[in-house]
Structure 1
């Protein structure tokens, strides 16, 4: 393994999933030793490079987590494991509190007991609910409107309390709408049945769906469709590496920061981008609004820009779409190869 053994290893939970696998790539590219734990419920073993240590298992398996921390000199945890489908969280709230909150409590306890000093948490803009002001600052009221958002906010609270009581600092990164794929084609969004707009749109563009549903055309926005802040997954992964280095450099400080571009695009603008990139027209079907969708959800990213050296590198919407499309076109072959090797 070509990893810097002078650095502590980073334990990445959910590192075989969409965002977690990109964080693993960013860490490895920056020379960090990486240990991945993933139960492969929604992740893929092939998404974890051979240069990372991989363990199949559950983050609530405290003896396994303790062994990985001890054997690999883990000094920091990046926590991505969890359930992320908002409508599903409404239908099955107790499963979300179990998977996202109870199991996170076990992981935080493992970190404290094993004296891991630094903890990065994959949080969400869903912690804000329907914001009073847009762009949304980290100081805004946090009042989630679904169990998914609450399950993440509860974990933020646990981390804050644990950091106050123990030698631990943390960074909770509140993601806005994550999209795109690794520009080198090493990973991308691969889970079947994804609900994210750009993923759905590129599936339609590659013939995997017959159309794209547009939920609501009467929002208080210029074209009547909802506006969201889309962040490229590789930019998001880079933010995690910078945040890790910040936690290590300033061990007495913890952070909560938005991850977005402070620029929103409407549903129709996103679909127009897909049309431009593919040079074709995907079918759009207007549907009723979904309950609880705000008119606009855009990050105020001034805090992360002031705190970290991180700067967006792939913020152009057509670039995000093009990377997602390239991944979608290669995904079928990759999944076929994975199944044949099992």
Structure 2
């Protein structure tokens, strides 16, 4: 059986509707999954002449009504946005709708009616104007699933990276790393890939300092204090993890296939290799959500400046859908 991927429409004034419809114009998407859009049918319909598409939009209320047939896009129609919503303009209505699309997708995932979530971009200003004071998708997902321990994973076709820390200054990031967080993220990496069908996921942890400290030559023993105990705990539980290893060679080794996923210690340590190896096909993934819910996302924003102009590229959306298929828990499909 193919997994059902719930695709949230994001901000209706941005490029989300365009890239969704462009992506669902590829037959191979339907060969690999059952795509189900959660959004607004009339907004999807209005982009069809913009992108020159002959797709049909099938508005439904429940997944059981979906056809999952190439050429017809099934959409759980929340009907929250006006048909004359202006492209490229921040709107409280669009911000609220983007939240409601995601909330419905989370509900469907909790009920096992979809197997993973793929999100088109939302606009944070619009989200706040709509009454939802979250920094972005990740925090909404964590809140609505009552999840405390989660992490960001980034993928390209040849590399997967998961982070101990993300959006904080380097000094604060290093201070916040501890053995418990190291163990938690290593286990998240292992469990996510295991559920996705990897028999024995190979996990490697980056060092914090140059050359992973080189036995105390660099730094103040951060590897031994903050990383090693968490790694050893995971190893004792049978997780196939090594490290800490020097980051400057680890990413090369992972890219050639020595490891299935790399644990990065801070934002740029993990993001920079991903961007170099495939920024156009980069995917942002939230892992560790309760219920085993996997969320993938395009690696770009709403691009209000080009919305409605048929300029937006669907490569990242296609990559996000592929990741949602790959990481969908196999025991649910």
TM-score normalized by structure 2? 0.37
Q: Which has the higher contact order (CA 8 A, sep 6+)?
A: 2
Q: What TM-score do you get using the length of structure 1 for normalisation?
A: 0.36
